[in-house]
Each structure stands twice: as structure tokens, then as C-alpha cells.
Amino acid sequence: MTSNAPGLALPVTDAELADRLRSRMGEVEDALVAHVQGSAAYVTEAASHLMEAGGKRFRPLLVLLAAEAGPHPAAPEVRTAACVVELTHLASLYHDDVMDEALLRRGADSANARWDNHVAILTGDFLFARSSELTADLGPEAVRIQARTFARLVEGQILETVPPAPGADPVEHHLDVVAGKTGSLIATSARYGAMFGGATPEVVAALTAYGDIVGTAFQLSDDILDIASESDTSGKTPGTDLKEGVPTLPVLLVQRSQDPADARLQQLLDPAVTDLAADDALHAEALGLLRAHPAMTEARDYVVARAGEAKALLTALPEGPVRAALEAFADVVATRSA
């Protein structure tokens, strides 16, 4: 047994499993380099830009780990599936940055900042095409899964840009957005790994549901960390989403409160009344009030409960290092927001 394996985005404590995953992730990295090659150097440069900027490669690693739940974890289809999900994720980041008008991604210039929106959008399309080409090699069922995943992901991105429907709960709207944008592809990562590793249908279903839940919970924990973290420990400026007016779970919980004591904070959180991006003092006040508000505990409790649901699904797997690693990741999701 070792400490969390360096270089792996999941908390794998079994030395042999960690070594296998590192070796196979190396193969995935090499394959990704080949898959982003275009017919022209300019296309290759743009398509390689975000991949070379780094990233945790969590989704392909989850494919490889889920494949360990079956008898054929080293099947070539597993590596192909790992590339499919990472290329899909990378493509979505190019489009995300255009929508958000982002200037940085992974510490480097975003593609839209380095080139322009047209190049960024078309590069994302190129990477989606590459992922689709690879998916076709995996057979019609994989194509169907990928199409449905992509539809959920894009629908989540669309819903993020519009307010909830009249009478709809903004919190539920946000949960739907997160489930689509983040949970869908993480669910498919686990599903592909289990499928192509040869796991039983019961295990495939359990890991798919696990990925959906834990992926959504992981993103929601980011909502909490944006408010609770300190810049010197998280590496992220606290209250970035708050300043930019990005809806997060704690903010939405405060906004739906009927408690008169929340009037001042609700005023600060109303972009029609207060421009937090233009006033550092008001931003600091809102951040302080949010950190002390019961909505933070409510949001944390929700994430912990979802992580517990994800862990409960893992009883479909036999006890061992694979199940332990997946359980540990759910624990990380729960504790990182505490």
C-alpha cells in the first residue's frame, strides 16, 4: 500500500493498481497526441493547445479504473474509449471558453484569446469529430451512448445560459445544468470502462449511475469551494463565481430563502441591484455573509449525501482495490467541500 499515487487524478492506494493505471494512462496520452493531429500544422497547433496546457485527465483515468472491474481491463477498446471521453471533454472546453469569454484556461491563454472565437469554435468541432470517429470504431452501441451523452452535455450548456422556466425552482435548474454539463460525460466514462473491460451488466449499470452522481457532486463541491476556500490554499481567487454572477448552489439556496434576516445578503446577490465585480468592498461583504450563512452547511450536506449515494452503488463490485479507489474518490468529493 502507498499514499495516493502521484500523477493520478483519483486516490488510488494500491501500488500495483496505481502502476497499471499510470502505464495505461501513458498509452492514452500518446494516443491523444496522435488523435489531435490535423492535415495542416495550424489545425494541429490549435487542437493541441488545451491538451498541452495540462489537466487532470480524470475522465480517461475513470475509464481505465472502471475497466478493472471486468476481466479485460487492458482491452484495446478501453484505451480508445478513454480517448473518446477526453477528446469530447477538451472539445467542450473550447466552446465553454467562447461562451464565457474566458481569457485563461489551465493557466494558459484560452484558444479564443490566443486566436479568436471562430478558431476556438471550429477547433472544438474538429475535436468532437475526432471523438466521433473513434467512437465509430467501438460499435453502434457506443455510438448511441456517445450521442446521448453529447446531447445531455450540450443541453446542460444551453440551460446554463437561460433562466429557469416560470415557476421552476432555480436550485433544481442548476442541478440539471450540472448533471448535464459534468455528470453526463463522467457517467459515460465509467460506463465505457466497465463495458469494454467486460464487466457484468449489473456492474456496468452501477458504475454508470455512480459516475453520474459523483461527477455532479464533484462539480457542486466546486460551488462551495469558490466561496469557502482561501486563495493561498486553493490556488483560486475566492468568490470568482460570485463576482462574475455565476449561479452556484449556496447562492441559489440563499436567494430562495424567506428569512427576513437574509435581506441584506439577497440584495448583494441580486445583479440588478449590486455589481459585485465593480465594488471590492461589497464583494468582500457578500463573501463574508455567505461563508457564515446556513446555506453553506445545507450545500455541504447535499454533496455529502450524494457522495454517500454514489458509494452505496459500489456494493455491486467485489471488495478490493478497484472498489476502494472508487469509494475513496466519493469520500474526496464529500470532504473537499467540508
- Asked if 304 and 312 count as a contact pair (C-beta separation under 8 A), the reply is no
pLDDT, tens only, 50-85: 777 767 899 999 999 999 999 999 999 999 999 999
Long-range CB contacts (within 8 A, 24+) of 309-316:
309/213, 310/209, 310/210, 310/213, 310/214, 310/217, 313/206, 313/207, 313/209, 313/210, 313/213, 314/206, 314/210, 315/206, 316/202, 316/203, 316/205, 316/206, 316/207
CA angle 329, 10, 65 (to 5 degrees): 95
Say yes or no: 188 and 220 in one domain: no
Per-residue confidence at 159, pLDDT binned at 50, 70, 90?
Answer: very high
For residues 162 and 272, membership in a common domain is answered with no
Could you read off the pLDDT of 4-32 as tens digits, one per residue? Answer: 444 788 899 999 999 999 999 999 999 99
Same domain for 173 and 67:
yes
CATH code of the domain in which 95 resides: 1.10.600.10
- For residue 256, pLDDT beyond 70: yes
Q: How far is residue 329's CA from residue 43's CA, in Å, rounded to a whole number?
A: 36
In angstroms, the CA 206 to CA 186 distance is 13
Core vs surface per residue 21-43: b (16+ CB within 10 A) or e? bbebbebbeebbeebbeeeeeeb
> Which residue type occupies 87?
L
The helix/strand/coil state of 108 is strand
Residue 316 to residue 22: CA distance in whole angstroms: 25
Q: How confident is the model at residue 143 (pLDDT cuts 50, 70, 90)?
A: very high
C-alpha cell of residue 77: 477498446
* φ/ψ (deg, to 5) at 142: -65, -40
Same domain, 112 and 226: no
Is 117 a residue whose pLDDT tops 60?
Answer: yes
Same domain, 131 and 211: no
Question: What letter represents residue 38's amino acid?
Answer: G
User: Do 143 and 246 belong together in one domain?
Assistant: no
Same domain, yes or no: 188 and 225:
no
Binning pLDDT at 50, 70 and 90, where does residue 122 land?
A: confident
Choose the final residue of a domain: 170, 199, 228: 199
282-330 residue pLDDT tens = 999 999 999 999 999 999 999 999 999 999 999 999 999 999 999 999 9
C-beta atoms surrounding 123 within 10 Å: 26
Domain hosting 249: range is 206-338
Whether 51 and 19 map to the same domain: the answer is yes
Are residues 27 and 132 both part of a single domain?
A: yes
In a shared domain, residues 195 and 210: no
C-alpha cell belonging to residue 254: 440563499
Statement to judge: residues 221 and 160 lie in one domain: no
